[in-house]
Every structure is written in C-alpha cells, then in structure tokens.
C-alpha cells in the first residue's frame, strides 16, 4: 500500500513542510524568519504573523517538488506541541482544514518525539532500546527510546534549556541572535581551558542551566571592569570555555544514564545537536566507553517538517489518528 503524508511544522520560528512516501522523505522545505535578529530572540506575535505569510507558499512548494497532487495524500500531520501557541495555531488550523477538505486522516505529532525519530530518516539507524539526548533552545532531556512510539524521559532540565544557555551567553558577549552557532564557530579557534565556570549539582539525571548563565554573566561583568576590551580580546577563548562547560554538563548526565541503564546505543537530537563541540565530545566518549552513536544530518537538527513526517509515518502504520477538533498544546509533554 502506498502511503503519502504531508507534514507541517510551525512550533517556533521555522515554517516547514515535508512530504513522505512509504517512509522515504521526498523533501524538507523550510522558510526561516530573520526578523527576530532585530530583537535578540523570537518574538511570538511576529513569529505567528510570519507563519501566516509563509505556510501556503511552503506547502505548495513541498507538494510540487514531491510531484504529488492533493488527492493522492493519505494523511496530513502537524506539530501539536510543545511550542509557541500562536505559531502552533497557524500550522494546526491549516492542517485541520486541509485534512477535512480532503476527508483524510489527521495526525498530531509531539515535537520532541519527532526530534528523536529524525534518526530514522537516513541510515544508520539506532537499535532499540537507545538513549537520546535531546537538546534545543527550549528543552533538554535524556530519553530512553524503547520503540518508535514508546519513550520514557529519564531526566530533563529543571529550569532553562542548554540551547537557551548558549544563546544567552552569546547575547552577553554581544553576538547577534541566534548566538549558539556563533559560539561554536569562535570556540573552534579558542582554548577550552582558558577560563573555568562552576557546574550545577542536580538530582538524578536532571539538568539545571540557570546557574551557569548567572556565573558567566558575573564573570564577564567583573572582567570588563578590569579591562573594557576583555571580550573583544578573548572572544575565542571565552566561547571555547563556555562551550566546553556546557557540553561537559550535558555529557556527565548522559554517561550516568548509560551506566544506570546499561544502554550503549546513544543518540543526540535537537538544534544543539548541530554543535560541533558536542559532536566531537560524543565521539570521544563513544570511543572510550564503546558506545554506538548516532547524530542526525544538520538539516534535521533544527526545527523541520521532515522529522514531523517520519513520526507521522509510524503513527499512520500504528493507526493512531486525531480528531479534527484537536488543538495545539504549547506545554505538551513527551
């Protein structure tokens, strides 16, 4: 049986559409929103307005590129949450109207589950059970993945996410939004041992990044009092030291989770999984601890509809469909 699904992602500031056919991603169209750079972060109202402008052109391009007509679709999927309410509403409203108009099933997708299932778009694919460190601007979680649709959160951040810590640190350094990728670029040319920052002792496998953000803020404040040009003259080393500490904090709990569960199939996902420093550290630990590791292609690290599509494919096979009355859930849990 041929299965073609249109997937829509609009949880934050990326309007994306993808078509999947029999489990194969045919395309992954993404329209980014540069306007948020003017404000140093995502402005929810502006994000939802941009989604309204982008959603029809993006979906139209996805269908045309896939050479698929609307009548041949078997289902429509959309990100139900978590995310920004206004942004989610745009994708949800379009998806529901589209599915109702075609009289085909509607599939709701958990954004965090989709990040994890992005590992099943291309080879190599992890074997169950595996651990996935999901790291983004809004979430940081260690998840035990027992099957495509069976996942258990073993640990998560108690306050801020690792991606938010990267971006906030970049803002303190005067770097434009989004600053996380820029820290990664500067870090490649710096000394990760140049400066030290305190970690946070949290219970179990949970994380906390609010303390490290505060420590970095006071560190920069004090150093600038001594030398107004401190940041400019030490940008590479500061970024390398900040990134090394954040990556170390992530890896400590991931290694602990692997030891507690005995699982050595280890994956990373989410926007921060594109970070070169994190990827390199993961590879180092893999060689030392005999892990088999999995890292998504850069295209599938950030918010994108391909990951929504692959998640929808497995829900379609399981016969899990939603009501046309389904609503966005901004605080949706995995």
Is residue 105 one of the residues assigned to a domain? yes
Q: Which helix (H) or strand (E) holds 266?
A: strand 265-269
* 205 and 229 assigned to the same domain: yes
Q: What is the DSSP code string of 168-189?
A: HHHHHTTPPSS-HHHHHHHHTT
For residue 244, pLDDT beyond 90: yes
pLDDT confidence of 177, banded at 50, 70, 90? confident
Q: Percentage of the chain surpassing pLDDT 70?
A: 100
What are the tens digits of pLDDT across the range 114-159? 999 999 999 999 999 999 999 998 899 999 999 999 999 999 999 9
Domain co-membership, 286 together with 222: yes
Locate 207 and state its tokens. 């994380």
Same domain, 136 and 274: yes
Q: What is the pLDDT of residues 5-44, one digit of tens each?
A: 999 999 999 999 999 999 999 999 999 887 777 777 788 8
Mean pLDDT, residues 224-250 taken together: 97
Same domain, 155 and 225: yes
Judged against a pLDDT cut of 80, whether residue 319 lies above it is answered with yes
**Is the distance from CB of 315 to CB of 147 less than 8 angstroms?**
no
pLDDT value at residue 112: 97
**Contact between 155 and 207 (Cβ < 8 Å):** yes
What is the predicted pLDDT for the residue at 42?
A: 84
Is residue 323 one of the residues assigned to a domain? no
Looking at the structure, tell me whether residues 111 and 179 fall in a common domain: no
Mean pLDDT rounded to a whole number for the chain:
96
Where does the pLDDT of residue 217 fall: very low under 50, low under 70, confident under 90, or very high at 90 and above?
A: very high
Domain limits for position 135: 125-295
* pLDDT score of 174: 96
Q: Do 153 and 14 reside in the same domain of the chain?
A: no
CA distance 272 to 274: 5
pLDDT in tens, 280-289: 999 999 999 9
The mean pLDDT value for 196-205 works out to 91
Are residue 233 and residue 291 in the same domain, yes or no?
yes
Radius of gyration of the chain (CA): 20
The verdict on residue 205 lying in a domain is: yes
Spatial distance between the Cα atoms of 145 and 150, rounded to a whole number of angstroms: 6
Task: Give mean pLDDT, residues 82-86.
Answer: 97
Q: Which element (helix H / strand E) includes 20?
A: strand 14-21
Same domain, 111 and 63: yes
Let me know if residue 325 belongs to a domain.
no
Indicate the pLDDT class of residue 222, thresholds 50, 70 and 90.
Answer: very high
Classify residue 39: in a domain, yes or no: yes
Cα separations in angstroms, 220 against 182, 238, 244: 18, 9, 17
Q: What is the domain-level CATH number for residue 13? A: 3.30.420.40
Whether 231 is in a domain gets the answer yes
206 to 132, 175, 182, 201: CA distances (angstroms): 14, 29, 27, 9
Q: Is the pLDDT of residue 1 over 90?
A: no
Say if 215 falls within a structural domain: yes
Same domain? For 74 and 165 the reply is: no
User: Rounded to an integer, what distance in angstroms lies between the CA atom of residue 25 and that of residue 41?
Assistant: 30
Residue 233: per-residue pLDDT: 97
Mean pLDDT, rounded, for 310-319:
98
3-class DSSP state for residue 318? coil
To the nearest 10°, report the CA torsion of 174, 177, 179, 185.
-100
Statement to judge: residues 52 and 191 lie in one domain: no
pLDDT for residue 39: 75
> Are 168 and 34 part of one and the same domain?
no
Q: Is 15 exposed, middle or buried (0-12, 13-18, 19+ CB in 10 A)?
A: buried
Q: How many domains does the chain have?
A: 2
At residue 223, the 3 state secondary structure works out as helix
The burial class, CB within 10 Å (0-12 / 13-18 / 19+), for 43 is middle
Closest CA to 109 of 319, 321, 324, 331: 321
Q: SS3 of 25, please?
A: strand
Helices (H), 195-304: 210-226, 230-261, 276-289
> Please, are residues 15 and 55 in contact by the beta-carbon 8 Å criterion?
yes
- 159 shares a domain with 63: no
Pairing status of strand 24-25 against strand 14-21: antiparallel
Q: What is the Cα–Cα distance from 137 to 188, expressed in whole angstroms?
A: 21
Q: Which two tokens stand for residue 50?
A: 């941009």
pLDDT bin (cut points 50, 70, 90) of residue 201 is: confident
In a domain, 31, yes or no: yes
């Amino acid at each position: 049986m041929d299965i073609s699904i249109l997937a829509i992602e609009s949880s934050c500031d990326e309007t994306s559409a993808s078509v999947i056919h029999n489990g194969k991603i045919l395309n992954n169209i993404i329209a980014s929103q540069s306007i948020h750079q003017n404000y140093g972060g995502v402005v929810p109202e502006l994000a939802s307005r941009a989604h309204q402008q982008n959603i029809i052109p993006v979906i139209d391009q996805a269908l045309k590129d896939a050479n698929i007509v609307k009548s041949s679709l078997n289902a429509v999927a959309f990100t139900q949450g978590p995310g920004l309410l206004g942004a989610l509403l745009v994708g949800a409203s379009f998806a529901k109207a589209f599915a109702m108009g075609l009289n085909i099933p509607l599939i709701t997708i958990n954004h965090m589950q989709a990040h994890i299932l992005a590992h099943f778009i291309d080879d190599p694919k992890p074997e169950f059970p595996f651990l996935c460190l999901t790291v983004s601007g809004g979430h940081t979680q260690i998840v035990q993945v027992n099957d495509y649709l069976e996942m258990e959160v073993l640990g998560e951040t108690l306050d801020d996410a690792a991606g938010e810590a990267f971006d906030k640190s970049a803002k303190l350094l005067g770097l434009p939004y989004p600053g996380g990728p820029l820290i990664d670029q500067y870090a490649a040319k710096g000394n990760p041992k140049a400066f030290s920052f305190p970690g946070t002792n949290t219970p179990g496998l949970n994380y906390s990044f609010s303390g490290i953000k505060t420590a970095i803020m006071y560190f920069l404040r004090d150093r600038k009092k001594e030398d107004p040009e401190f940041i400019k003259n030490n940008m590479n080393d500061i970024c390398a030291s900040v990134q090394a500490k954040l990556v170390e904090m992530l890896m400590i709990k991931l290694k602990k989770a692997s030891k507690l569960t005995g699982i050595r199939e280890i994956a990373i996902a989410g926007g921060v999984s594109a970070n070169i420093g994190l990827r390199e550290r993961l590879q180092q630990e893999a060689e030392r601890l005999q892990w088999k590791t999995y890292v998504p292609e850069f295209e599938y690290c950030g918010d994108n509809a391909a990951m929504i599509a692959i998640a929808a494919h497995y829900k379609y096979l399981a016969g899990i469909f939603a009501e046309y009355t389904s609503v966005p859930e901004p605080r949706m849990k995995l």
